[in-house]
Each structure stands twice: as C-alpha cells, then as structure tokens.
Structure 1
C-alpha cells in the first residue's frame, strides 16, 4: 500500500439550499427500484503509475486516449514502464490521451487532484484485463441525445466526449451503454439532465466520468415510488469505473449496482440532496467486488451506500456529511473494509449483519447510533493484496474532497 500525502487546504463550504425533511427511515432492502447517477468516461488518465511515480497494481491499462499517435499511455516516472495507451507504450511520459485527459503527468491535474484509477475496476477478472473503456476506439464529440445514444450503444469501442448540457427526452430516459465505452464530459460543465445511463447484463469495460447527472426528481415523491428515474443502473455488469461525477436530485436511485455487478470502482464523486444515494445488491449471491473511495456524500437519507451481499467491499477516504438515516451498511453477508473516512453529523455511521466490517482510522463528529466493527485488522481480506491504493489521512479528507471531488475542468479536453 502506498500513501500519497496532500497539502492541507482551508475548508470553506457554502451552506446548501436544500434541507432534508425526510426524518429517519428504516433501511430499505434490495429489490425495489434501481439506478445510479453515473458520470462520464475517462480520457487519458491512467491505471499505470500513481501520483508518486510508482506503477499501480492494475498494471498497464490506460483509460481513455485516442488510438492514433499521441494517445500514449500515462504512467509513473521515467523509471517505470507506464501503461500502454492508444498509441505506443510510453516509458513514463504520461500526458493526455488523444482526447486530452489528465494533468501533465497523467496522474494528477494542475491542482494536484488525482486522476488515476484505483480499486477493483483495475483488477483483471471475468476475461477482462482491468478497465480502459473505449481506449482502442475512435474519439467522438456529442452534443445531442441522439448522438450520445448512437455511440454509447454501438458494438465498437468509443471514447465519447459529452460537450455542454444534454437534456433527455422523455424525462427519466436511461441511455443503454454497451461494452468498451468511455463517456467523459468536456471540462467541468458537461451535464446529463433529466436522465441517466443503464448497463445491462454482461456489459463490461465502461468508464463514466466528469459529468453532472440529475434533475429527474419528481416533486412530492421523496421516496421515489411513482417512477424509476435513476442516474446509473448496472445489472450484472463488470469492470466499470465511475469517476469525478456529480449526482443530484435524482428521481429514484443515484447509483444502483445490482445483480452481481462486480469489479466496480466509484471515486472522487459528489452525491447530494437526495433520499436514496447508492444501493448495492439485489442478489442472493456473494461474489461482487468493489471499491468506493474519495466520494462526498452530503445531505442524504439512506443508501450511503447500502452494500448487500458483496464478497469484498473496500471503502476509504469518503466524507459523509449530514446523513439522516444511516451511513455505511454492510448488509447480509458483505465483508467490508472501511478506512480513513469522515462521518460528520451522521446517524448510524456504520454497521453490519452476517459478514465482517473492519473499521480503522475514521473520524466521527456529531454522530449518533451504531459504529459497529468486527475488529481493526483485516479479518476477511486485505485490499492491498489485490491492488495498490493511495490512502490519505482522515484529517485531510474534507479539504481534499472540497478541492477535488466532482467534475474537473481539465478532463475530456
């Protein structure tokens, strides 16, 4: 395990205009409505080479990038092999892929915000070697729903750059995404309004990145009972990376990882102002593996996340703020490792059922209710046995996420 330290920043948060009025509801079970407010695909950020210059456990895959010369892999320093990008492998030159991905070294942007894939989405399995999205395909730019649907559902790989705001019609439309796709917002202003994405059974190798997704909330339907308007829904998909996105005011679920969806990483995203944030499960099997790190959950009620029957769930460096019902729930037979997160004004920060929950290094501020743990050692699994990851000190998480979570202006350019 490697540790990348970031400078402390002054926390300056503006009060949110929406206050939760839902009270405290009981955790809802898997099997209802589904989805997630996904993000856009990645372009040019790499899974080879972390910010410190070390090569990552994911090995050589590079997210995004054009297959032509110039879409070189980003990774590491000159002493590391880096990753093979759209063009020839780069010996640490990093740089943006063909559609302009990351910062100067392919691992962080100009403000030092990490852009590198970590977690189970970087691990090989089910016939897929990590997650690189549409790296091997053509790069296209879309400004309309018709073009987004066309390229997202195509059988060929694509890096799809979403420019500006696309408003879905009919309201609540979830665009079907096929395998081998990167969907990335151009800069920090790309938006999917009044709709979301759907990844069906067997869909794999998808990156959703740098998008704002929302505005499907139905007034008067706080519980999401009258419709099934989700942000991103995944039903038995695998190798999916959702990164640097913002989800808000969704009709039903912001993110739903359902029916044995596995090899999933959700990172550096903001989920806010809603009832159901992030539901995981809808299955009796205990096979899924996923990583949820550096996300800001704020002004929410339930599913933060509710993690049902996940073989290995690794949560670290998340910030849960003003959560009214419950925080991290290791439901059913889930085995969870929960590290260096911040729980600020949270009811029932974390608890578990029949599996395990290792909680270590977390900060609790103005919390009430359960803080359950099966111990402080890796009783079921050690995440570092599967991949390298950057674990930040818990006392730096709030400043770091204030600065770096959500869409980034340099992605997708």
Structure 2
C-alpha cells in the first residue's frame, strides 16, 4: 500500500491451489470440498456502499418507520410498491406479474422495503424498476431521484426484461438474500448514474447476463464518478457471465463471492476501478478481465482463490481501498464455498 493513498497496486494475493494444476494435467474437474463452517447470520441492516452518506441521506433504511402491508396478488403488489413511502411491502406466496404495457417492469417508490415472507415468496414473469424514466439529457442527479429502497428474501424468475433494473441516479439501494433466475436480460442491472448500492447474499442461477453496472460505452456523462457498488457473499451458481460487467465506476468492491462454473467472472472497462478480494473461483474460464470489450478498466486483487480456472485475474492500475470508505470484515476465501451456499438466497432472513 502506498503511504497515505489507500491504494493497492500489482498482482499480490492470488492463490492457485496445487491440486488445480494436478487436476488440469489429468483432464479432471475437482469440486471444492471444505470442512463445514456455519452460515453467517443474515444482517439486520445493510453494509458496504449502501451505508455511505451521500445525496442528503446518511444510510439506507428502506421503509423503516412506515406501516407494513402484506400482499398476495399482482394488483395489490403493484399498487403497494408505487405508494409514497416509508412503507414495508411483505410478499406472501407466489405472485405472477403481468407483462402489460411496460414489458412486465413495475416502478418502486422511494423509502420502500420489499421483503418476502418465509422461504416461498416469489415474483414471476416480471421485474422491478427502481428509477425515474430514462432521460439521456439529464446528467446530474435530480432532487426526485428514487432512493432508499431495500429488496430482500424474494425468488425472482421468468422476467421478459430485467429482474431488477436500477437506473437514473437512484441511490442507497440494498438488494439482499434473494434468488434470481431465468430472466430474459439482466438479473440485477445498475446504470445511468445510480450510486451507493449493495448487492449481498444473493443466489444467481440458470441465467446468462447476470449483473450489468454501467449502461454503455457512450454513457459516461451520466455514469462516470458514480455507480459505486459493493457485491459480497453472492453465489454465482452456474450463471454464465457479467458478475459484474462494469463501466466507468470509480470503485466497485467485489468480495467473498463464490463463482462456480461461469464463462467469466468480472470485467472492468472504461477506466472502472474494481477491488476484488477474498473470492473463490471454481471452474471459471476468465475470473477477472480488464482487456475486454471497450476501453481498458482497472483492477486490483488480493487473497482470491482460483481452482480449475483457465486464466489468472487480470490486473491493471490502482484502485482505492474500500476500507478508506466503510468498515467491513472479509471472510477467508477458503471458507467461501461453504459459507456462501449455506447463507445466500431466500429463507435465511
């Protein structure tokens, strides 16, 4: 670490297991096996970038302090999440969202918590839109940007667009302990100037383009300097790509995630800065890339484990250490294949 800068550079911290090389030589795939560790208790509140003050908010609280309403039908759910908050929307059972005139994407109001009850709460056939309508001419955060939203303990599948889309300068968002699968586009996309987001303890499976962070290569006017996001303790369970795929963000913290059987893990482009630590990559072709589509990104890494991966994590440049912005405790990477599958997803909150 350079004194006084909070920055880390170089290759340090990567661990390549000896059995990885032996398995590769034998043409075999060896699944990770570890002595059991207890699943971490579900946090009572957010951590990471969702807790960093900004835009007039001290942290993310969702609908705390407001009434709670339990919904069991699509009509009741759609009406509730659009109400002015603070409000806690409790989802009971499976709700099939109609495609309607919005391609099945439904807006969520500020100061809202959406939480599933038990382990069977589910949204199918549609997705959640956290953000104002798209306006390419708007390049600074408006005073009415959607903010302070929590989504927890939901199964979401089968959307004809995104499962969750965060856009247009939305901020202070916490997406935690959900199960995402089988969407036509992104599972959780964060773009168009959104900022101060944490995505934690989710399971992603049976999905292609999982996590997009940053709209496109021409959207720097909205995205540059924003999109600060923490991804931790997520289980990328055979999902294919974008875990996440990042543009422009000055700092994205990716730690203690379990990557299993993916075509690629993380991609950094357009000078985005990714700090990648304590993750476990098993059977991932390209764990981390900076030489990807578009201008080069930046990536530093420490204490990651790669098993049966075809390439090393690509590193480039320097990235601010997240510990200069918020406190956190990373688990040992060797414990991730036990801790994360046991603790991620629904029924743990």
> If the TM-score is normalised by the length of the shorter chain, which range does it land in?
0.7 to 0.9
Partner of 1:352: 290
Partner of 2:311: 369
Partner of 1:235: 167
**How far apart, in 1, do the equivalents of 2:259 and 2:284 lie?**
7
The answer to whether the aligner puts 1:195 opposite 2:116 as a matched pair is: no
Q: Give the gaps of 5 or more residues in structure 2.
A: 1-33, 133-144
Large movers: runs of 4+ above 4 Å: none
Which of 39, 49, 54 is matched with 1:125 structurally?
Answer: 54
1:154-185, CA deviations, whole angstroms, 9 ceiling, x for partnerless residues? 12310111111101113751221010000000
Q: Cα offset for 1:279?
A: 0.7
**How far apart, in 2, do the equivalents of 1:331 and 1:189 lie?**
38
Q: Give the gaps of 5 or more residues in structure 1.
A: 1-7, 12-109, 217-227
Classify the secondary structure of the residue corresponding to 2:240.
Answer: strand
> Is 1:264–1:290's contact at 8 Å kept on the other side of the alignment?
yes
The answer to whether the aligner puts 1:113 opposite 2:41 as a matched pair is: yes
Q: Cα offset for 1:146?
A: 1.1
Partner of 1:253: 186
Q: Cα offset for 1:9?
A: 4.9
**How far apart, in 2, do the equivalents of 1:348 and 1:395 lie?**
19
**How far apart, in 1, do the equivalents of 2:39 and 2:276 lie?**
27
Q: Cα offset for 1:113?
A: 2.1
Classify the secondary structure of the residue corresponding to 2:313.
Answer: coil
Matched ranges for 1:149-160 at <5 A: 149-160=78-89
The answer to whether the aligner puts 1:262 opposite 2:204 as a matched pair is: no
> Is 2:64–2:88's contact at 8 Å kept on the other side of the alignment?
yes
**How far apart, in 2, do the equivalents of 1:392 and 1:111 lie?**
11
**How far apart, in 2, do the equivalents of 1:117 and 1:279 lie?**
21
Classify the secondary structure of the residue corresponding to 1:182.
Answer: strand
Q: Cα offset for 1:114?
A: 3.2
TM-score for both structures, normalised by structure 1: 0.67
**How far apart, in 1, do the equivalents of 2:80 and 2:58 lie?**
23
Classify the secondary structure of the residue corresponding to 1:403.
Answer: helix
**How far apart, in 1, do the equivalents of 2:267 and 2:185 lie?**
19
Partner of 1:207: 150
**How far apart, in 2, do the equivalents of 1:267 and 1:148 lie?**
24
Classify the secondary structure of the residue corresponding to 2:286.
Answer: coil
Q: 1:9 to 1:183 in 2, by over 3 A?
A: farther
**How far apart, in 2, do the equivalents of 1:258 and 1:210 lie?**
23
Q: Cα offset for 1:393?
A: 0.1
Q: Cα offset for 1:112?
A: 4.2
User: Which protein is richer in helix relative to its size?
Assistant: 2
TM-score for both structures, normalised by structure 2: 0.79
Partner of 1:281: 214
> Is 1:203–1:238's contact at 8 Å kept on the other side of the alignment?
yes
